Amino acid sequence: MEKIKIEDLFNFNFLSGISLSDDGKYLAFVVSKANEEKNNYTSNIWLLDTTDSKLKKLTTYGNESNFIWLDNKTILFQSIREDDEKQRKQNGEKFSSFYKISVDGGEAEKYFEIPLIVKKIKKLDSENFVILGEYNIYDNDKDYIILDEIPFWSNGAGFTNKKRTRLYLFNLKNKEIIPISGEYENVSHFDIAKNGKNILFISNEYKDKMEIRSDLFIYNLETKGKEKLTHDDPFRYAYAYFLDDSIIFAGSDMKNFGVNENPKFYLLDPKSKKVTLLTPNFDLSIRNSVGSDCRYGSYNNAAVDENYLYFVTTEYSSSYLNRIDKTGKIEKLTVNGGSIDGFDVKNGEIYFIGLKNFKLQEIYKLEKAEKQVTFFNERLVNERKISKPEKFTFTNKDGIELEGWIIKPVDFEEGKKYPAILDIHGGPKTVYGEVFFHEMQIWASEGYVVMFTNPRGSDGRGNKFADIRGKYGTVDYEDLMSFVDEALKRYPFIDKERLGVTGGSYGGFMTNWIIGHTDKFKAAVSQRSISNWISKFATTDIGYYFVADQQSATPWDNFEKLWWHSPMKYADKVKTPTLFIHSDEDYRCWIAEAIQMFTSFKYFGVESRLVILKGENHDLSRSGKPKNRITRLREITNWFNKYLKE
């Protein structure tokens, strides 16, 4: 077998958008692949017949997305196919074209077009749809940009000043589009009642400064009336669904643990407006926080079927599928580790996309056990040398047991010393787990030990463990250094004189922090990092509220604290050769963060290099243009090879 290669990215199949027909006979999903020639991704809809497990590729054009079931035999999907559509799109015209196709195959037929950029669509009946679409309060097609609110831009979306995501009704027969939400509201989620008479949605209305809160509304399709159901203020709603004659929702008042506080589940009676807290002792994240660079597309984290809300949680280093009923009783449905990357359920039948058994994504059916039903990536994994993580636990200085892993080099030889790379996850409220990670396998193939852990601040262990507000660079740094010391003690084949460190986002911050506080590492790669909490406060799309919340300070009430937690403060102590990698359209951790640290290093004579990827954003390593993803990984690997091998 061959070692895994950086270019194997072009052979990966990424699965997303899983959806069952109402009768449960067919499972539709999207398969995406990196296209080397066009330097983009092709996405096609596939179909699984659940009665005999037969698979077929339903569309072949390559840009199919945002699909729904029109009926049990017909799929509606969004695409740009015709030459005039392509030309109009290139000219900046804002519209969305929808096509329909039968599960029996044949050519797709253009069904309708909407003069909006559609983000999501759901069917009300054969002639009416509910649409989540872009709405511009200002004319943004001018040669200048007006900013009069914060946030004014968003990672992956560019300048968003006075842009909102608005909810609409669309009638197919008369082409009428009626807005449901207000022009200053940003709608983040909606659900349609089974009887088709009501729409439930979550939105945040603002004009000058977006507050971290949201409201819950119900819209009556018969009376055309909108009613506010918000039960507490401020409150941050995660999602809300109709469950029989009630509404079940998840959210947090953020009083105890700030913006990252884990949601709880509530039941609301639409008639009496009575709200019941169902899970007072529930303390888990209701999302999949398990990191991987082998995903592409969108995923469902919650769905209602019969008398249950099904949802995903992250627990320690894995994510799991659960369900809750109206009494608040929670059942954990999956027990195997790994990652649940979206699911759907109809009539009790459950299918999910998973990163399981250290494989790339496949679809699984949940019966009494998890049964793999697709094998899109099986051949590639079987033809490559894969080094699986080895887990160990250790106790930090405060007596808390932590999890850590090492990945041995491919073709490991006893008695030989190996360089090692500490890889730090982003977030900080995410986790590393035992799932396939392309970059880690590349480094193992290059002869490195790869080390990773989930320090305090990580997800999966409740609010208290994740809460490092005002503590960045203290307890998390201690946990990471304790982990490295423990790994060196347990694995004598790790060469302590050839250690590297890298990470992205929060992991980039921590990389910057580490090399300003220890000379233990001989090379560093800081990706999409944070170097200065003062500048981050006023420049990034989440800065003004995230920094105030996470650092427990603003530039006015505690300038010294923000500077104390800023890696740039310690740049004059750094001796470690450092590569900075950043995207020029990263509005989450703006490029100024990398530039400031890079300039500081050059000023003090530290060996450093800054690589800027054009046209990319904060998600470069996960969904950037394929060739840029390869450039990034090659630059990192070459940097470590230069300083840890030569």
Question: Which SS3 state, helix, strand or coil, does residue 564 take?
Answer: helix
In 3D space, the residue among 377, 300, 376 whose CA is nearest the CA of residue 343 turns out to be 300
Say whether 87 sits in a helix, a strand or coil: helix
By CB atoms closer than 10 A (0-12, 13-18, 19+), residue 595 is: middle
What's the Cα-to-Cα distance from 85 to each of 32, 79, 314, rounded to whole Å? 22, 10, 42
Backbone angles phi, psi at 410, to 5 degrees: -60, 140
> Is 204:217 a contact under the CB 8 Å cutoff?
no
| Chain Cα centroid distance, residue 83 | 33
Cβ contact 91:100 at 8 Å? no
Is 68 strand, coil or helix? strand
DSSP label at residue 231: -
Phi and psi angles of residue 332, each rounded to the nearest 5 degrees, phi first: -90, 120
Sheet with 215-220: strands ordered across? 185-192, 198-205, 215-220, 225-228
Structure tokens, 51: 């009665």
Residue 334 tokens read as: 């999956």
Whether 600 is a known active-site residue: answer: no
Provide φ and ψ at 23, rounded to 5°.
-85, -5
Query: Which residue out of 189, 565, 582, 618 is catalytically annotated?
Result: 618
Inter-CA distances, 356 with 176, 340, 436, Å: 46, 8, 8
- Best CA proximity match to 448, nearest among 493, 481, 485, 415: 493
Distance CA 73, CA 614 (A): 43
Query: What residues contact 369, with CB distance under 8 A and at least 6 apart?
Result: none
Contact 14, 32 (CB under 8 A): yes
Question: What is the separation, in whole angstroms, between the first and last Cα of the chain?
Answer: 27
Q: How far is CA 456 from CA 75, 312, 535, in A?
A: 45, 22, 25
Beta bridge partners of 418: 494
Distance CA 436, CA 453 (A): 15
Structure-block tokens of residue 443: 């480094």
Contact, 422 vs 454, CB < 8 A? Answer: no
Decide if 618 is catalytic. Answer: yes
Question: Cα–chain-centroid distance for residue 616?
Answer: 16
From residue 136, give the alpha-carbon distance in Å to each of 89, 103, 631.
17, 37, 35
In whole angstroms, give the CA distance from residue 8 to residue 34.
10
What residues have CB less than 8 Å from 144, skipping those under 6 apart? Answer: none
Beta bridge partners of 53: none
**Lookup: tokens for 451:** 């080390």
Q: Determine which one of 203, 318, 505, 531 is catalytic.
A: 505
List residues bridging with 308 in a β-sheet: 305
Contact 551, 473 (CB under 8 A): no
Which of 557, 551, 612 lies closest to 579 in space, CA to CA? 612
Strands (E), 436-533: 449-453, 494-504, 523-527
Q: Which sequence positions are flagged as catalytic?
A: 505, 618
